[in-house]
C-alpha cells in the first residue's frame, strides 16, 4: 500500500485516472485491490483492463473471473481481445507482451499501471544479462516510463502473497507459468529458488541493483545526446560523427540511437564490427548490418536505418 501510494503521489495529480493491467493473476489482483483501497477517497479514478489473448483454453474463464472481481470492487473493467502474431523472429511470449502493451497504451486513462514486482525485476535483469544486453538490459524495467507506472518493483512476490491472503483476494493461476520452455519460467522455477535459499533478499537486492543500472544507463544516454552535438536524434546519422568520437563513445551513441528508435541493439561482436567498419571505411566501402527486425547501412556518408517489417 505504501509503495503504490508513494508512486501515485510522485506521478499522478488529483483527479487524474489510472488503469490497472489486470490479468487475474496474483500480482495484478493485489495491485488492483490496493489501488481501489487507495482511491476510496475519490481523488483518483481507477479502472481495469484485461487483455484476452485467446492462447489458453481457459482464457474465457479468466475474463469472467476478472469481471466478477471487478464487480465486487465496483471498478470498471474493459476486456480487450487481441490476436497474437509473432513478428521478426520473436517468440509467442514476446508477441503476447507486445499485444498487451499496445492495448494498454491505447486506453484513454491518464496513467497505465502494471504489477511487475521485485522477483520479476530480478528475473528480467538476469535474463538480459545472460543474453548479453549490457547496462541497458541490466537496468531491466523502470518504475516509470512515459505514462506507464510499475509501483511494485521494490516488493517481493512473497509480500504480495501475504497481502492477497490477508485480504482474501481471489486470483487465478495461468497454466503456462509451469511451462519451462519459456525462459522466465525456467529462471523462476529452477534458478531463483536455490539463490533465494542461499540469499533470502536476493530478489530485492537485484531489483535495487537494476535501479542503479538504470541510473547509469540514463547517464550514458545524456552522454550520447551531448555527442550528437546538437543534431536531432534520428537517422540518417553522419558517418563522420562516429569517426570523430572515441570508439567507446561511438558504440554508446549507436546503441542509444537504436534504443530511441525502439530497436534492440545487436550483440556486442556485431555492433563492434559495424562501428569498426564505419570508422575505417574508405569512400568506396558501404558497411551494412542486417538483423531480423531492422537494417543499418552506410551510403553517401550517412548511416541509414530501416525496419524490416
pLDDT digits (tens, 9 = 90+) for 156-170: 999 999 999 999 999
Please give the average per-residue pLDDT across 40-58, as a whole number: 86
CB neighbour list of residue 247: distance below 8 Å, 6 or more residues apart: 275, 276, 279
Distance CA 8, CA 131 (A): 33
Q: Are 298 and 278 in contact (CB under 8 A)?
A: yes
Q: Is the pLDDT of residue 237 over 70?
A: yes
Q: How confident is the model at residue 174 (pLDDT cuts 50, 70, 90)?
A: confident
Percentage of residues in the chain having pLDDT higher than 70: 97
Least confident range from 71-75, 181-185, 237-241: namely: 181-185
Please give the average per-residue pLDDT across 135-149, as a whole number: 91
User: From residue 271, how far is each of 131, 156, 159, 250, 268 by CA, in Å?
Assistant: 15, 36, 41, 10, 5
Percentage of residues in the chain having pLDDT higher than 90: 65
Please give the average per-residue pLDDT across 261-290, as a whole number: 85
Give me the pLDDT at residue 263, please: 84
Please give the average per-residue pLDDT across 30-45, as a whole number: 85
Mean pLDDT rounded to a whole number for the chain: 90
Cα torsion for 135, 141, 146, 148, to the nearest 10°? 180
Please give the average per-residue pLDDT across 108-136, as a whole number: 91
pLDDT in tens, 197-229: 999 999 889 999 999 999 999 999 999 999 999
pTM: 0.85
Distance CA 37, CA 59 (A): 27
Q: Is the pLDDT of residue 268 over 90?
A: no
Grid coordinates representing 112? 497505465
pLDDT in tens, 7-36: 998 998 888 999 999 999 999 999 999 999
Least confident range from 106-120, 172-186, 233-247: namely: 172-186
Residue 154 is classified by DSSP as T
User: From residue 193, how far is each of 32, 88, 141, 186 by CA, in Å?
Assistant: 27, 33, 22, 11
Q: How many CA atoms lie within 13 A of 109 on its CB side?
A: 27
Q: Is the pLDDT of residue 307 over 80?
A: yes
Give me the pLDDT at residue 81, please: 92
Identify whether 191 is preceded by a cis peptide bond (ω within 30 of 0): no
Please give the average per-residue pLDDT across 120-127, as a whole number: 93
Amino acid at each position: 500500500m505504501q509503495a503504490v501510494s508513494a508512486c501515485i503521489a510522485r506521478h499522478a495529480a488529483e483527479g487524474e485516472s489510472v488503469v490497472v493491467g489486470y490479468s487475474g493473476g496474483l500480482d495484478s489482483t493485489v495491485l488492483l485491490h490496493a489501488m481501489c483501497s487507495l482511491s476510496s477517497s475519490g481523488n483518483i479514478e481507477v479502472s481495469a483492463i484485461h487483455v484476452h489473448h485467446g492462447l489458453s483454453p481457459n482464457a474465457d474463464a479468466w475474463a469472467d473471473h476478472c469481471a466478477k472481481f471487478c464487480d465486487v470492487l465496483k471498478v470498471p473493467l474493459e476486456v480487450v481481445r487481441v490476436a497474437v502474431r509473432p513478428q521478426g523472429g520473436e517468440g509467442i511470449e514476446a508477441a503476447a507482451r507486445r499485444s498487451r502493451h499496445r492495448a494498454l497504451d491505447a486506453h484513454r486513462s491518464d496513467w497505465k499501471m502494471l504489477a511487475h514486482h521485485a522477483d520479476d525485476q530480478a528475473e528480467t535483469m538476469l535474463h538480459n544479462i545472460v543474453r548479453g544486453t549490457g547496462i541497458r538490459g541490466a537496468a531491466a524495467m523502470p518504475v516509470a516510463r512515459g505514462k506507464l507506472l510499475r509501483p511494485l518493483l521494490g516488493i517481493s512476490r512473497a509480500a504480495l502473497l501475504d497481502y492477497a491472503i490477508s485480504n482474501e483476494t481471489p486470483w487465478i493461476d495461468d497454466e503456462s507459468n509451469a511451462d519451462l520452455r519459456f525462459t522466465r519460467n525456467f529462471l523462476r522455477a529452477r534458478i531463483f529458488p536455490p539463490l533465494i535459499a542461499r540469499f533470502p533478499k536476493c530478489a530485492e537486492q537485484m531489483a535495487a541493483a537494476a535501479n542503479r543500472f538504470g541510473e547509469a544507463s540514463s547517464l550514458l544516454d545524456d552522454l550520447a545526446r551531448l555527442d550528437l552535438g546538437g543534431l536531432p536524434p534520428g537517422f540518417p546519422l553522419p558517418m563522420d560523427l562516429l569517426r570523430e568520437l572515441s570508439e567507446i563513445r561511438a558504440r554508446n551513441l549507436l546503441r542509444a540511437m537504436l534504443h530511441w528508435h525502439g530497436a534492440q541493439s545487436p550483440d556486442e561482436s556485431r555492433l563492434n564490427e559495424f562501428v569498426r567498419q564505419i570508422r575505417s571505411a574508405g569512400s568506396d566501402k558501404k558497411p551494412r548490418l542486417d538483423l531480423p527486425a531492422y537494417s543499418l547501412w552506410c551510403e553517401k556518408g550517412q548511416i541509414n536505418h530501416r525496419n524490416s517489417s
